[in-house]
Amino acid sequence: MLLGITLSLMGLLIGCSNRLDKEFRDAMSWLNDVIPNKVYHDTTLYYSTENGVQISYLSDDVDIFDGRLIYAFPDVDTKATLNIQLSFNNKTHQFDRIITLVSKDDLPKSSEIHIEVGSRISSREDYVEGTLDVIDFDDNNNPTYLLDDVSMKIRLRGNSTHEMPKKSFKIKFDSKQFMFSDYKEKDWVLLANHADQSLIRNALAFQMASELGMDFVPMVKFVNLYINDEYHGNYMLTDQVEVTNDRVDIEENNPVMDTGYLLEFDKKLYASDFVTDETFFIIDGIPFVIKSPEKGDESYIDEQYYYIEDYMRTVFDVIKAHGDYHAYIDEASFIDWYIINELFKNVDSGYSSVFYYKDAQGLLKMGPVWDFDLSIGNYGHLEVEARGPEGFYTSRQDKNVLFYYLMQNPTFRVALKTRWQAVYDEVILGLLDDIYPTADSITRSRYENFLKWEVIGIENKWYTTPEILERDTYQKQVEFLKAFLTARIDWMNTEISQY
C-alpha cells in the first residue's frame, strides 16, 4: 500500500558544496522510498541515514509521538504537511512533504467471523448451537466467504476473563474445518484480550515461540467478531490446546502406561468457587491436571494416572536435589519456554495455563506457551516492586518451583546462557521489531474495538495497573509495552551473561 512518490529536488540544495549536494540528494532520495505517500496506520519515521544526515520532523497537521507519525482516523482522505529538516556538517536544508491520511472507512479490513445463535451464550460448560461464517478481504476490501453457514456450537471460556465485559469463546464445529490454517480441527478459541489494552501481548509471545522453533505454537489470526449481527470487537483466533496430529502431536488412544500425556499446572483449582471434573494430582502443593488421556476415554486405564504422577514426582525430586535431570526432561523445551515467560514477566507462569507434554517413551517437554494478556507490566494485583522490568519472576520459589530449583543448578544456568546468547540478536532483539508491525496490522480493527470497549485511560479494574491507566491513548499503551520489554531485555541480558 506504500505507493511510489516523486519529490522535486530543484532549488533545495543551491549554495551547498558538491559533497553536501550529494549527501542531501542521497538523503532525500532515500526518504522518497521510506516515507509513504498514503498513510494507513501509525508510521515509523527515520531520524538518520547511513551517510550521517540527521532528520527531524514538524507538523501542524498530524501528531508525532515516540518517533512515529500518528494516524488520525479522518472521515475523508486528508492532506497533511510534514516539514522535514536535514542536517549535515553544520548545514541544514528543509522541505515540505505532503502526505495523505486515508479515510478510516478505506483502511484495510480485518477478517470477520459472524456467528448466529438462537439463545444467549452465558455458560462455560454448556454450548449454544448456531452457525458460523468466515469472511476474508482482499487489498481492495472485497469480501470472500471462506466458510458459509457452517454448523457449530459455542460457549464462554476462561476463568478470570470470564468476569470481564468482553468475553472469550470456544467454538466446536460438527466436523473439522480450516480456520485460516493449513489443517482442519473441530475446536477453536476466540481470545478477547480485554485486560490487554494493546491487544497484542499474546500474539507477540506466540510469534516469539514460533521464531524459537518450539514444537507446537498456537496460531495468531486477528479477526472482528459479530454475534447475531452485533459487533463484539477485535479477537485473536487461535488453537485449542489439545492433543491432535496438528497441535500437541503425541500418542493417544493407547491403553498402555507409557503413552502420550498432556498436563496443565493449574493453581486455580484452589479457588473456592472452582469446580472441575478433570483428573488431577498434587505435587508440592501444585495441582497438575491430566488433559490427555482423559478419564472416561475408551483407551483410558487407571495405571496411566499413577504412571504420570510417579513420573512427575521423580522429575520434582531430581530437580530439587540438583541432580542430572537429562534422563527425565527435554532441557531445550524448558529453556525456550522459560525465556519467553520470564522475558514477558508473565504472572500466569507460576499459576495456571502452564502446559507440559510427554510422548510415549519420551522425555517431559514444556509447552505450548499460553496466556500472556497479564504480562509486560500489565498486572495491577502485584505489589509495586514486582511490577517493573527488573527481577526474576517465573523462577521465584512461590511461583514456578521447578524453575526455582533449575535456576540454582549450574548445568541449567549454563545451558540457558548458551541458548540466550544464540538467539539474542535475531529473536530476542527481533521481538522489539515485531511490536509496531503487529500493532499496525490491526489499525482499523483496534480503533473499532476501543469505540465499543472504552477502556484506555478509563478502566481501572481487571488487573489494570496505575502505570497502564495513565497511558491514555493506544499509542502510549504500545510505547509502554516496548519500553518495558526493552528494559527487561537489558536487565535479563546482564543477569544471564554472568552465568
- Tell me: do 121 and 87 sit in the same domain: no
Nearest alpha-carbon partner for 360 in 279, 243, 281: 243
The pLDDT assigned to 268 comes to: 81
Domain end: 239, 269, 300, which one? 239
Which runs of consecutive H residues, i.e. helices, occur in 321-361?
331-343
Is residue 207 domain-shared with residue 317, that is, in the same domain? no
Q: What pLDDT is recorded for position 22?
A: 85
**Residue 215 and residue 329 in one domain:** no
Query: Does residue 488 share a domain with residue 388?
Result: yes
* Domains in the chain, number: 3
pLDDT at res. 119: 96
Query: Do 213 and 346 sit in the same domain of this protein?
Result: no
CATH, residue 27 = 2.60.40
82/60 same-domain check:
yes
Are both 317 and 367 inside the same structural domain? yes
Contacts of 112 (CB under 8 A, 6+ apart): 133, 134, 135, 223, 224, 225, 226
286 with 403, same domain? Answer: yes
Using 50 as the pLDDT threshold, list the residues of the chain that sit under it.
Answer: 1-17
- CA 43 to CA 436: how far, in whole Å? 9
State the pLDDT at residue 197. Answer: 97
Can you give the pTM of this predicted structure?
0.94
- 273 and 149 together in one domain: no
Q: What is the pLDDT of residues 177-213, one digit of tens each?
A: 999 999 999 999 999 999 999 999 999 999 999 999 9
Q: Does residue 382 share a domain with residue 355?
A: yes
Residues 13, 94: contact at Cβ < 8 Å? no
Residue 301 sits in the same domain as residue 386: yes
In the block, residue with C-alpha cell 499474546: 202
Q: How big is the chain, counted in residues?
A: 499
Residue 225 covered by a domain:
yes
411 located within any domain: yes
Domain final residue, candidates 63, 86, 104: 104
Strand ranges (DSSP E) for 368-460?
none
Q: Helix or strand or coil: residue 256?
A: coil
Query: Is residue 487 in a domain?
Result: yes
Residue 251 lies in a domain: no
Residue 244 resides in a domain: no
Question: Does 340 lie in the same domain as 489?
Answer: yes
- Residue 247 belongs to a domain: no
- Domain residues for 227? 111-239
- Which residue, of 60, 89, 104, is where some domain finishes? 104
Residue 419 lies inside a defined structural domain of this protein: yes
The pLDDT value recorded for residue 1 is 39
- Is 287 within the bounds of a domain? yes
